[in-house]
Every structure is written in structure tokens, then in C-alpha cells.
Amino acid sequence: MFTLVAIASFSFVRLFFISNEGKEALIKVGNGPVQRVSLKTDRRINLEGEKGRVVIEIKEGRVRAVESSCFQKICVNTGWINKPGQNIICLPNKVLVTIEGKESPKIDAVSY
């Protein structure tokens, strides 16, 4: 009956900026350590988030969340990201995926 569309949480620091393509992604689950993964090898990574599983897909230098146990699926709806500073955030599962790149973004942060 009701379509839930809450947004915002996925948009985070430096989300919006166009720069060169990144070669690595940083993945953080909860307040655990940051994992660094290469975007050169196509694969799927299963992450155990706070509420359940989040599946990340890496393909042709891009990354996206293909599956998540969260209700709103904001992370999955974010789609592919491949530019430094872009993020995928799943707040219910406390999963953050950020693209790393050498070229610094033109903007330090976004207020939203």
C-alpha cells in the first residue's frame, strides 16, 4: 500500500563528483576495519552486515550492491559506482563502500 522511498542516507561525502575512474574500493562493515579491494577482478563479495547479508558485485571496474537484507534497498538502488569519492551506503546493515582514486575530488564534502 505504501511505497517507502526514503533516500538520503546513501548520499555521503564526495558522492557527487566526477573524476577519473577509481581502481580500488574501500569496504567498511560496522565499525570494523576497512578492507581494500581491487576493481580489476570481476567477482562477488558477501558481507555480513548488522541485520544480514549484503552482496557486492565488482564488474568491469565498477561496483554495486546486488542484494541486501535491508528493507528499503537504498544501497541496491544506488546502482553502479566507479568514480573516486562515490559511495554505496546501507545504514541498516552498516555497510559502506567507497571508491578510491588518486585524483582528489574537486569538492571536499557535500552538505545535504
- Among 3, 33, 41, 60, the residue binding another protein under the rule CB under 8 A is 3
Could you say whether residue 12 binds another protein (CB under 8 A)?
Answer: yes
Residue closer to another protein by CB (options 4, 60) is 4
Strands 24-29 and 34-38, sheet pairing: antiparallel
Q: Does 33 bind another protein (CB under 8 A)?
A: no
Separation CA 86–CA 17 (nearest Å): 7
CB of 8 to another protein, least distance (A): 4
Binding mask 73-102 for another protein (x = CB under 8 A): ----------------x-x--x-x------
What is the C-alpha to C-alpha distance for residues 16 and 57, in angstroms, rounded to an integer?
A: 21
Non-local (6+) Cβ contacts of 13 within 8 A are 85, 87, 109, 110
Residue 66: name the closest of 98, 57, 15 by CA.
Answer: 57
Which three cell numbers mark 77?
A: 538502488
Written as nine digits, the cell of 66 is: 546486488
User: Residue 57 or residue 100: which is nearer to another protein going by CB?
Assistant: 100
Q: Residues in the site for another protein, rule: CB under 8 A?
A: 1-9, 11-13, 15-16, 28, 30-31, 34, 71, 89, 91, 94, 96, 106-112
